[in-house]
Amino acid sequence: MLSNIIGQESAKRQLLAAFNHQRLAHAYLLAGEEGLGAEELAIEMAKFIMCARPDKTNSEPCQTCSNCRKISAFQHPDVHYYFPVLKSTDNSEILTMLEEKSQELYFKVKIAGGSLHIGDQDNPEKNSIRGLLREIGLRSYEGNIKVFIVTFVEEMNQESANALLKILEEPPPNTLYFLTTGYLQTLLPTIVSRCQLAKLYKIKPEIIESALQIKNHVQIEESRIIAKLADGNYAAALQLLSGDLKNKRELMIGFLLGIVGTRSSSIVEAVDTLLAENKKDKAMIIDVLNIMATWFQDAFYVNNLRSHSELLESFVINRDKIDRVEKFISNFPRTNLDLAITEIEKAVDLISRNVYLNLILINLGLQLRKIIFDPKN
The CA distance from 62 to 18, in Å, is 20
pLDDT > 90? residue 200: yes
Q: What is the pLDDT of residue 183?
A: 94
pLDDT > 90? residue 231: no
* Phi, psi torsion values for 219, nearest 5 degrees: -65, 155
Buried b (16+ CB within 10 A) or exposed e, 94-117: beebbeebbeebbbbbebeebbbb
How many other CB atoms are found less than 10 A from the CB of residue 276? 9
Buried b (16+ CB within 10 A) or exposed e, 226-255: bbbbbebbbbbbbbbbeeebeebbebbbbb
The most distant pair of C-alpha atoms in the chain lies apart, rounded to whole Å, by 74
Residue 367 near residue 343, CB atoms below 8 Å = yes
Tens of pLDDT, residues 316-340: 888 888 888 999 999 999 899 999 9
The CA distance from 17 to 23, in Å, is 8
Q: 31-35, 46-50, 119-123 — which is least confidently predicted?
A: 119-123
pLDDT > 90? residue 54: yes
Is the Cα torsion angle 276, 280, 284, 287 positive or negative in sign? positive
pLDDT > 60? residue 377: no
pLDDT > 60? residue 374: yes
- CA-nearest of 225, 220, 255, 251 to 240 is 225
**In whole numbers, what is the pLDDT of the chain averaged over residues?**
90
Question: Domain 9-201 has what CATH class?
Answer: alpha beta
Q: What is the pLDDT of residue 122?
A: 62
**For the residues 156-164, what does the mean pLDDT come to?**
91
**For the residues 327-356, what does the mean pLDDT come to?**
91
Residue 218 near residue 212, CB atoms below 8 Å = yes
The percent of residues above 90 in pLDDT, for the chain, comes to 61
Top-confidence residue, 130 or 312: 130
pLDDT > 90? residue 193: yes
* Phi, psi torsion values for 150, nearest 5 degrees: -120, 115
Q: 113-127, 189-203, 288-302 — which is least confidently predicted?
A: 113-127
Q: Which residues contact 52 (CB under 8 A, 6 or more apart)?
A: 62, 65, 66, 67, 68
Confidence band for 181, pLDDT divided at 50, 70 and 90: very high
Q: What is the pLDDT of residue 244?
A: 77
Residue 202 near residue 230, CB atoms below 8 Å = no
Q: What is the pLDDT of residue 192?
A: 96
**For the residues 160-172, what does the mean pLDDT come to?**
92
Q: What is the dihedral of CA 32, 37, 43, 49, to 10 degrees?
A: -80
Write the burial class of residue 307 (CB in 10 Å: 0-12 exposed, 13-18 middle, 19+ buried).
exposed
Q: What is the pLDDT of residue 266?
A: 92
CA triple 140-144-148, angle to 5 deg: 60
Q: What is the pLDDT of residue 124?
A: 66
Residue 12 near residue 5, CB atoms below 8 Å = yes
Tens of pLDDT, residues 278-302: 666 888 899 899 999 999 999 999 8
Residue 273 near residue 234, CB atoms below 8 Å = no
Q: 1-15, 18-32, 349-363 — which is least confidently predicted?
A: 349-363
Confidence band for 67, pLDDT divided at 50, 70 and 90: very high
Tens of pLDDT, residues 19-43: 999 999 999 999 999 999 999 999 9
pLDDT > 70? residue 155: yes
CA triple 237-241-243, angle to 5 deg: 120
Confidence band for 138, pLDDT divided at 50, 70 and 90: confident
- CA-nearest of 259, 236, 249 to 343 is 259
Q: What is the pLDDT of residue 82?
A: 92
